[in-house]
Amino acid sequence: MLSIHCPNCGITAEETEFHAHGEAHLTRYGPGSTDDQFESYLFMRRNPKGVHFERWRHQNGCGKWFHVARCTMTLEVFGSYSAQTYAPPQEILDHIKDRRPGWNEGTT
């Protein structure tokens, strides 16, 4: 079971109080994009064994969205951060690199 921290209300609770909503930091291709780009946005998702960035919502709590970085293999949670961002903040990346020395952003 994951223990997740909500950066909006400051509560740390187990995962059943939250809900996962899939991969984070997608580029939302819309009108004007190519069919391939649109297809990739709609259907193609990473499915890494290891570090993964996800969107979560504090479903049974404050109701707000945020991001979580976690490991899909060990279920280690590296940290959570604001939903109002296009990329993970540096301290989260530093922490992941600390925990997973071989990991490279973009490869998973």
Give me the residues that bind another protein (CB under 8 A), please: 8-11, 13-14, 16-17, 59-64
Alpha helices in 18-57 (DSSP H): 35-43
Strands (E), the chain: 3-5, 12-14, 19-23, 51-57, 65-71, 77-82
Residue 48 Cβ vs another protein, minimum distance, rounded to whole Å? 27
Cβ 103 vs Cβ 52: under 8 Å: no
- Looking at the Cβ atoms of 51 and 58, the one nearer to another protein is 58
Residue 67 Cβ vs another protein, minimum distance, rounded to whole Å? 16
- Looking at the Cβ atoms of 73 and 75, the one nearer to another protein is 75
- Looking at the Cβ atoms of 2 and 26, the one nearer to another protein is 2
